[in-house]
Chains A and B, each alone.
Chain A
Amino acid sequence: MVESPHPFLGHNFLLAILRKYGNFHSMKIALAQVAPRLGDMSRNFELHRQFIDKAKKNKADLIVFPELSLTGYTLMDLVPEVALNPTQSALFRRLLALSRGIDIVLGFVEEKEPGLFYNSAAYLSREQILHLHRKVFLPTFGMFEEAKFFAQGRIFRTFLSPFGRAGLLICRDFLSLGAGYILLAGGAELIVVISAAPGRGMSEEDDFATSRMWELMGEALSFFSTSFVIYTNRVGFEDGKAFAGGSFIFNPRGNLVARASTLDEELLLAEVNLEEVRSARKAWPFKRDDRPELVLESLARIVRHDED
């Protein structure tokens, strides 16, 4: 379901051929900055369908929805009620059908095995699930209580998308230097982040203080991994939390390509040139000079001695 076990026969091989010989340098990305309805999957499916239609009409190659876009965020005891297994769910089959002609990243509650619920992201392409990521860092502090309701994902890894090697992160995962590093070491050219980040903190600025935090990471990670960073955050209110929006794309040189509004629902479209990964890496060989074996050895040492 995730990656083909046989590299020469699978979907990925075809993708690699297409990518090599097709005209895939220019790519149009759609960020679906939506406000899902809490616990209402059929309404949210409809919301996805509408935004996908609009993105297709605008000739987008990829559309990215926010975290838990199919279900809403503040689920608490609703988690088991909205959970689905993507290999068996009729709703997911309908979503897969929508991925003809456009790649889709979305968020949902995954019941991987009975009673184990994950905050997951799926990458859909040509009616297949190319990749699933289960959120690793479940924020459980202050206003967040995800670890109370979700099982923890265990791995960060990259996969081959039609647009190059990609990695998925969910919200708080993105704020981990380790997660970003693993995607860099794994060869990611596109880092796709789906988020449900409430705005916190007021100042004289016309945005929340936390919006700057996400952009700071987008800027830093895109520059130092010389990859595209594509970040979709949701909008709307749940139990008084104001999801801040402000979705963005940074290019591999750390420059902002596009940014969506704060608080308003919108479909943000932006065209990028995938060749920019190559040109950025010629200028700044961070990827070439990376030493994952050395990092691994150093981490192993830290883990061994990290017993108090």
Chain B
Amino acid sequence: MKINPAFVTKVLCAFIREELHRFGYKKGIIGLSGGLDSSVCAFLACRALGPDNVIGLVLPYKDTFSQEVKDARLVARHLGFSCRVIDIAPMVDAYFSRYPTKNKVQVGNKMARERMSILYDFSARERALILGTSNKTELLLGYGTIHGDMACAINPLGDLYKTQIWELAEYLGVPERIRAKTPTAGLWPGQTDEGEIGLRYAEIDRILFELVDRRQSPKAVIAAGFPKTSVEKIVSLIQNSEFKRKMPPIAKISSRSVGHDFLYPYDRHK
């Protein structure tokens, strides 16, 4: 599971640069949470495109995440790219004042989609493509909001596990205080990923690596010494989140259907 962070950085920077330039874009835009993934993404983007071509958007709800805003600004200052803070409270409150709910996850998802909506608007305003920050662990477990934080134009981090992103962060020089933070999706104050999933990232990633990269059966992974309850939980999270990793199914009734046998590459040149 170990990576060579210098090599990974080279590959990911080339990816960011090529993907943007081939579609005629110079700039990338990133939703900054003050956490590990978006900070690493910003470090990669600045290396690939130069800080003048990176835009950060910090999208807090009122002042519930004031430390996160400070950390996001710290990253922007450290790298020298421009960063803007927009409070999403007026939009989110306007909605929930009409359709109130006590469900914290529902509120968190709505906020994630509000941030997506602003990012896409700024993508158009600034002619900048959105760089995604969902890592492989989140994508496999479905630990993200569909059409929310999972939405992006390109995703440089989607094939790296969370623990590998920590390795990368250290190499890139992401400030210690960000690397030391407990990961949180920021759905509500005090929430932590590991608390909500009920497993530690170190364990999750090792199990995912066996199941996915090494193509081991759950039975074999348990036999190799991983706790049965952890393996079963992870398998069930993967299975129940397939819809977040796919385009929605289309009823295929014509002689040639989009996504099925109308197949063109994403990267086609005009």
Residues of chain A whose beta carbon lies under 8 Å from any beta carbon of chain B: 37-40, 43, 72, 74-78, 199, 202-207, 236-240, 242, 262-263
Contacts and interface: CB of A to CB of B under 8 A. Distances in A.
B267 interface: yes
B265 interface: yes
B3 A203 contact: yes
B262 A239 contact: no
Nearest to A264: B14
B14 A237 contact: yes
Contacts of A199: 11
Nearest to A35: B18
Interface of B: 2-4, 6-8, 10-11, 14-15, 18-19, 154, 164, 262-269
Contacts of B2: 203-204
Contact of A242 (B11, B164, B262, B269): B11
Nearest to B164: A202
Contact of B8 (A37, A202, A239): A202
B11 A263 contact: yes
A242 B7 contact: no
B18 A236 contact: yes
A38 B23 CA distance: 13
Contacts of B269: 37-40, 43, 72
B47 to A, nearest CB: 15
A74 B267 CA distance: 9
A199 B14 CA distance: 13
Contacts of A40: 269
A242 B7 CA distance: 12
9 contacts: A38-B265, A38-B268, A77-B262, A78-B264, A78-B265, A206-B4, A237-B14, A239-B266, A239-B267
Contacts of A205: 4, 7
B264 A76 contact: yes
Nearest to B19: A237
Given A203-B2, A237-B14, A38 B267 contact: yes
B156 to A, nearest CB: 10
B8 A78 contact: no
A174 B87 CA distance: 57
